[in-house]
């Protein structure tokens, strides 16, 4: 007979208890095989949905960035989930002529099917979605919005062309002076033509190098301003610059003295600088 030591202290004595013939020794990594995992997930989702309050669902949807109206819920669904909802709607209409007990039973079964498909990706929106589709009228409204959704198309470009023409006339004037907001070396500079900007520390550029500033945040003139989101595309606006000087900054003195401790430190500190001159700012009308 096999024996297994149990660390049970009874009257300060260790006792040995025999293992039954049908018992098995399990390691700490062994887990029980659960064949009803999906059933437990389904039951947990249904119980959580039935116990949830309307205000709590609205709060969770707001935190997730999903609106509580029908259009926002439909837009948050994937194509597969929209197809599933369409099948759900067709089956629901087919049951309108059936008696009330059978209709309610089929409605519950369809709700469970849709919930199992959608609960993994959109748990919060699925709950409110199922609650709002508890009547046939709301289902018809949601299906009408889902089937009638079309992609946005530009039907009139007159106003756009008018704005582009006004901007083009502005920068084609002789005495116009454009400005741009550029992002260089973790800093933002508002520059215009022939302006000088200073970059600190080591920059791998030589005197005379011509560069193009890619990160343009905004460009404008006297009567217009074009903002990026957050950057303006490179072909639309071009800002060219030239390296005119590489030197060191004026030495700064850092002096530290602690009274009655004979502590005095003196540091002369200079930083490498690279000076750029803005040559021109160009706007391309074709890429606007």
Q: Report the distance separating Cα 63 and Cα 51, nearest Å.
A: 20
- pLDDT tens track, the chain, 288 positions: 444 444 444 444 444 444 444 445 544 455 555 567 667 766 776 676 666 666 676 776 666 666 666 666 667 777 777 777 777 667 666 665 454 444 444 555 555 554 444 444 444 444 445 554 444 555 556 556 555 556 667 667 788 788 888 888 887 787 888 999 999 988 999 999 999 999 998 888 999 999 999 999 999 988 888 899 899 988 889 999 999 999 999 999 999 999 888 889 999 999 999 999 999 998 887 776
| Domain ranges (residues) in the chain | 37-147, 169-283
For residue 248, give both structure tokens. 């060191």
Sheet containing 187-192: give its strands across. Answer: 187-192, 179-184, 216-220, 225-227
Q: Report the distance separating Cα 278 and Cα 213, nearest Å.
A: 10
Q: Is the separation of the CB atoms in 11 and 20 below 8 Å? A: no
Q: Report the distance separating Cα 154 and Cα 161, nearest Å.
A: 13
């Amino acid at each position: 007979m096999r024996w297994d030591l149990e660390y049970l202290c009874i009257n300060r004595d260790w006792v040995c208890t025999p293992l039954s013939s049908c018992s098995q020794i399990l390691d700490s990594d062994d887990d029980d095989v659960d064949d009803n995992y999906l059933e437990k997930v389904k039951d947990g989702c249904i119980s959580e949905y039935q116990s949830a309050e309307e205000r709590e669902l609205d709060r969770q949807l707001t935190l997730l960035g999903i609106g509580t109206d029908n259009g926002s819920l439909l837009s948050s669904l994937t194509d597969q989930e929209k197809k599933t909802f369409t099948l759900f709607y067709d089956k629901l209409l087919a049951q309108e002529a059936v008696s009330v007990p059978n209709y309610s039973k089929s409605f519950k079964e369809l709700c469970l099917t849709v919930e199992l498909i959608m609960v993994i990706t959109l748990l919060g929106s699925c709950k409110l979605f199922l609650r709002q589709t508890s009547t046939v009228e709301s289902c018809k409204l949601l299906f009408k919005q889902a089937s009638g959704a079309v992609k946005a198309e530009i039907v009139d470009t007159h106003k756009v062309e008018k704005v582009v023409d006004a901007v083009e006339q502005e920068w084609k004037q002789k005495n116009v002076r454009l400005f741009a907001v550029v992002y260089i070396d973790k800093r933002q500079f508002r520059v215009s033509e022939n302006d000088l900007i200073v970059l600190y520390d080591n920059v791998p550029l030589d005197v005379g190098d011509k560069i193009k500033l890619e990160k343009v945040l905004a460009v404008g003139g006297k009567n217009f301003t074009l903002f990026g989101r957050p950057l303006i595309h490179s072909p639309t606006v071009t800002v060219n610059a030239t390296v005119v000087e590489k030197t060191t900054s004026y030495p700064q003195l850092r002096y530290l003295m602690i009274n009655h401790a004979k502590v005095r430190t003196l540091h002369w500190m200079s930083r490498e600088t690279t000076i750029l001159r803005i040559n021109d700012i160009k706007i391309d009308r074709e890429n606007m």
